[in-house]
Structure 1
Amino acid sequence: MAEDRKKETLETSETLPFIEKPFVISEKLKDSAEDGTGRGEESEDTSCGFWIFRGPFMQRFATEKMYVILYGLAGCVMTMTFAYFNATITTLEKRYKIPTKTSGIISVGNDISTMLTAALLGYYAGNGHRPRWMGIVSRLGLLTIVAFCLLTSSLHFLYGPGEDALKLTKEFGQVNETLARQERDKKLCQTSAGGCIQEVGQWVPQVFLFVAQLISGVGQALFYTLGIAYMDDNATKSKTPAMLSMSTFLRMLGPAIGYSLAALCLRLYIEPTLEPLIGREDPRWMGAWWLGWLVLAAMMLIAAFLLFMFPRELPSSRKRRLQLKQYERRQSLPIKERSFSDMMKTVRRLSKNKVYVYNTSASILYFFGYMAYWIFTPKYIETQYRQSAAMATMAAGTVALGFSAAGVLISGYVISKYRPSARSMACWNAIVDFVTVAGILCYVAIGCEGSDRLNSLSTLSTGNSCSASCHCDYVLYAPVCSPDNITYISACHAGCTERTKDALGRTIYTGCQCMDSSSLFSGTESQFAVDGTCPVDCFNEFLVFLAVMCFLKLVGASSKSTNLLIALRCMSPEDKTFALGLGSMAASLLGFIPSPIFFGWLIDNYCLVWGKTCSNKGNCWLYDTKSLRYALNLTAASFIFMGGFLNISVWYHAKNLKIFDEEDQPKGNSNNKEVELKTMDSKSQEK
């Protein structure tokens, strides 16, 4: 009888996966032994600090809340760097004569490296000891961002502020009056064609910037792909929305601070020790773009040090890991046994998950359309509403992103309190897309008539045969204003032959023969121009645009948590990290990479005045603002509109998707019972 009973027990254990076999008991005893005799290794993995910074006092910080704070702060500094780069793009274009399309290519360098590394890291590292990989992130991932900051700022120390910026300073004329006089004479009407503008090594800064972006993408992939999954693994499902919202909120403070730092640095001249002869509102103004990178590098080092202090594994999750250790050994292949064919099987399994596919596709379309505003909003404000680079940066960053942070916090509170279903979340995502489209259509109507008129008159004034006879092709952009409020690209384009100073110290150009064809006045008394662009007041329109933009930021940010929760819950736990990496790769390949290049090309198509050099056409100084406003906004709105319909598809297929745990879960009398329930639940999910 005893033998029969023993045989029956063994046979039953073969068919019921939740009943442990004899070797499982021995393994559990082995784990218990490790917990006792081998406790030193586990203690190091769950204790804060390192070297002399480790102690009993530090261990109180090894909690979920502290991880969220440290992870959020590190992400805050990381997003500061990307926001700072976007805020200084227009200055970099002026300094190194980069077309908008090329700056778009440079800005996607980090997305290219993210695309190449995110999915592989998610697959090979995600099923390993994720906390250990987070330790690598703190050492290498964030340190690559430090390298990114230092490499970008090194351009200024290698190439200096540039001749264009130096010629606009008081010290330039004091050091060499002859060169200053020759430079001023170049702006006047010439009897013979002048030489082209030489730019030695112009392509090298562009390569520097692109390589720096590539390096930053590796750290970004390590940080986000493993960090979010690690956070979700170390918290119950009910706590995940609040933790995601808090970490996202802290990260979203980064762009606001980054844009504020850029606004502060751009108020200083590119060479702070020199006195500029122009004001910040002058389109030729170049701020100290390089200064903020040094500050960001120091802050990133501090963030890396703090994250390095965090334990490799939370003590609260260690008990669960030991309980599920045998189950994970059965279900997961060791990292060394993983192969490319296994990864492709996972890809095919995810491709059949309709919620995952539609949710990812909707996000890609949204990203593609909205990337134009994430990167080029400061440029848009400068060209459309005639605001300085510092003001445009402050509006696009500090003010607008404050509403984004509020949207994330509000959505996190609502989700945690009311626990909406997956369908409700997908429905809200679709509503957000359509509201965003409506707001972008408002952008089309919010134009500045004075700015549109100024640009059209400037183009007409440069296209006449009179200015062509003055050989102004390679004259630098130095706008002058005529008595009838028409801006000319330079005194040469206005046909001016003489230069004087008035009682107020302003530069006055006289003998401007090319004004006769367009001037409302007649006679030689009208043939003069004042240095600088004609005044245009677009501030009221700018405030209306800012109000609409802040509203869209508030609404758009409220869908971040809902979108991510659907992505985390629509797949089995073992596929979660790889699915996040695969989604990041797809978003980079189809959204983040092509979108800046496409919209950069679109913006360049509406350029009216290029800064010509011997090698290429350089950067753009003047745009057809009205045509650009229609083309940019309508194109972006069309992509987001299509994404809204895909979110409707998510709503349709997410009817059985479970976002939260049940309120009252059955509790067993032992840890083995808890393992059994989780095993059965995982088996049912696989089927």
Structure 2
Amino acid sequence: MIYQLASGLTVALKRLLTNPTLMLLNLTVSCDLAIVGGFTFFVAKYVEIQYAVTAATASIVIGGINLPGTVFSNILSSFCIKKFDLNQFGLGKMMAFFSFCSFLFAIPLLFMGCSNPAIAGVTTHYNSSFSQGSLPNLNNSCNCNCACPDNVYKPVCGSDGITYSSACHAGCTDVWREGMENVDELGLSNNDTIYIRCRCIATNDHWETTDEGGIGTEGPCDWTCKKLLQFALVVAIITVFSSMKPNPGTMLMLRCVDSCDRALAIAFCGVVMRVLGFFPAPIYFGAMISNTCLIRQESCSREGACLVYDLERYRYSFIGLFLGLKLLAAVLSTCTYYSINPDRLEKNKSETLPMEPLKENKRSKSP
């Protein structure tokens, strides 16, 4: 009994593995699941960092985009399949069309971002005439005697409009105290922690205090990126196109195999899609995001959370990987369409022909 089951399973698996349409369809859907497992999981963090919004705002924006678009697209794709009575070729063409549309609309995301905010020694050089080497480099002649730790980020906004990693890195030697001067004249709040005699901060006419340097306030300088609305609209369109694909993909998977293999095909495809697409995606998406970190927290000689990201590199890496998966899915869906076997189409038609109702013999009435 066990031998017969194993033998039958082996033969059925061989039929599935030698079915080019099914295997290409598996790879196509694996790319789509990789996008779900990578891009969808990390996009809220991307929005938070790239557009300088809170985590709550980023989650609301992404949730407000994904839910309506997914529901609408699933209903619309089901209606189209039923209305036009799509066969295998129609289903494959539908998948390829929406794959390329999704890829083309994703290209503008590469340019919907802003440049890095000015952070001395991290994204821009200190205001110094001396050669400072490559970035990031937090050490400079203006703070060389301060012994500032590298893996600390307590930002200070300088009077020159540049953010410094900490008051130490800004070369500040004192804190503003009551009675020293009226802070209202400088346009600052009495509640702000104000650092003075900061040798790394260039002085100007408005905030100049002494000849020893400028002043700084606790917290980063104001920086905004006003492209969140454009990003949200484009992602909403991509979500609609992407969500049009699962229904024709499922129908095509069931129709490209023999009726006796459909249950096994569903299980086989579920395993392949998750192993190749869903499970590894967060690993390489996370690794790529981690490589864009400029300043990382360190505790007990162990690396911790990232404190500052290179926004431009982050955008090109994250969206670039997303675009690569989109392009691969579009190419594979086209290959899936061209791999459809016309003979199988005729076979499926014969299997789904409606059965004629049985004619009941009329009983002759007895005289």
TM-score, normalised by the number of residues in structure 2? 0.80
Matching residue of 1:366: 32
Q: Which residue in the other structure is 1:427 paired with?
A: 93
Please report how far the alpha carbon of residue 491 of structure 1 lies from its aligned counterpart in structure 2 after TM superposition.
2.0
Question: Whole-Å Cα distance in 1 between the matches of residues 268 and 289 of structure 2?
Answer: 31
Q: Structure 2 CA distance, aligned partners of 1:543 and 1:419?
A: 38
Secondary structure of 1:590 counterpart: helix
Q: Does structure 2 retain, via aligned residues, the 8 Å contact 1:379–1:392?
A: yes
Would the alpha carbon gap of residues 408 and 523 (structure 1) be closer, same or farther in structure 2, given more than 3 Å must change?
Answer: same
Equivalent-residue separation in structure 1 for 2:119 and 2:93 (angstroms): 43
Structure 2 unaligned blocks of 5 or more: 127-136, 178-182, 184-188, 361-367
State the partner residue of 2:148.
472
Q: CA deviation at 1:659?
A: 8.2
2:71 is matched with which residue: 405, 412, 415? 405
Partner of residue 511 from structure 1, selected from 174, 181, 197? 197
The amino acid of 1:459's aligned partner reads: T
Q: Of 529, 533, 536, which residue of structure 1 is paired with 2:220?
A: 533
Contact 1:366 / 1:640 at 8 angstroms: preserved in 2? yes
- What is the correspondence of 1:518-597 to structure 2 with a 5 Å cutoff? 524=210, 527-539=214-226, 541-597=227-283
Instruction: Return the offset for 1:418.
Output: 2.3
1:494 equivalent among 154, 160, 170: 170
Whether the 8 Å CA contact 1:455–1:623 is kept in 2: the answer is: no
1:424–1:527 CA distance, 2 compared to 1 (3 A): same
1:529-568 deviations in Å (ceiling 9; x for gaps): 12222112213x1100000000100111011111111112
How much identity, in percent, do the aligned residues show? Answer: 25
2:131 matched residue in structure 1: none
Letter in 2 for 1:653: S
Q: Which amino acid aligns with 1:345?
A: V
User: SS state of the match for residue 619, structure 1?
Assistant: strand
Q: Residues 125-153 of structure 1, C-alpha deviation per residue, up to 9 Å, x if partnerless?
A: xxxxxxxxxxxxxxxxxxxxxxxxxxxxx
Please tell me whether the aligned partners of residues 288 and 318 of structure 2 are also in contact (alpha carbons under 8 angstroms): yes
Higher RCO structure (Cα 8 Å, ≥6 apart):
2
Q: Contact 2:45–2:58 at 8 Å: present in 1 too?
A: yes
Deviation at 1:513, TM superposition (A): 2.1
Deviation at 1:357, TM superposition (A): 0.9
What are the residue-to-residue correspondences of 1:352-391 with 2, within 5 Å? 352-369=18-35, 371-391=37-57
1:459 to 123, 134, 137: 123
**Equivalent position amino acid for 1:571 in 2:** V
TM-score (norm 1): 0.45
Q: Provide the rounded CA distance (Å) in 2 between the counterparts of 1:544 and 1:482.
A: 31
Deviations for 1:315-347, whole angstroms, at most 9, x for unmatched residues? xxxxxxxxxxxxxxxxxx7xx777555433322
Partner of 1:612, secondary structure, is strand
- Matched residue type, 1:537: T
Q: In structure 2, what is the Cα distance between the partners aligned to 1:406 and 1:660?
A: 33
2:148 & 2:26 partners in 1: Cα distance? 51
Measured at CA, do residues 484 and 545 of structure 1 come closer, stay the same or move farther in structure 2, by a change above 3 Å?
same
Structure 1, unmatched stretches of 5+, are: 1-332, 671-687
Which structure has the highest strand share of the two?
2
**Correspondence 1:268-279 to 2 at 5 A:** none
Aligned residue in 2 for 1:481: 157
Supply the RMSD in Å over aligned alpha carbons. 3.0
The one-letter amino acid of 1:421's match is N
User: In the alignment, is the contact (CA less than 8 A) between 1:480 and 1:531 conserved in 2?
Assistant: yes
Question: Secondary structure of the equivalent of 1:464?
Answer: coil
Whole-angstrom CA distance in 1 between matches of 2:246 and 2:203: 56
The residue identity in structure 1 corresponding to 2:157 is C
Q: Is the 8 A contact 1:494 1:512 kept in 2?
A: yes
Number of residue pairs aligned between Structure 1 and Structure 2: 333
How far apart are 1:504 and its partner, in Å?
4.0
Residues 511 and 594 of structure 1: CA distance in aligned 2, closer, same or farther (over 3 Å): same
Structure 1 residue 667 corresponds to structure 2 residue 331 = no
Flag the structure with higher helix content.
1
SS of residue paired to 1:386? coil
1:288-323 Cα shifts (integer Å, max 9, x gaps): xxxxxxxxxxxxxxxxxxxxxxxxxxxxxxxxxxxx
* Cα gap change, 1:456 to 1:412, in 2 (>3 Å): farther
State the Cα distance separating 1:374 from its structure 2 match. Answer: 1.0
Quote the Cα distance in structure 1 between the aligned partners of 2:297 and 2:326. 34
User: In the superposition, relative to structure 1, how do residues 352 and 486 fare at CA in structure 2: closer, same or farther (>3 Å)?
Assistant: same
CA distance, structure 2, for counterparts of residue 643 and residue 376 of structure 1: 20
User: What is the identity, as a one-letter code, of the residue corresponding to 1:347?
Assistant: L
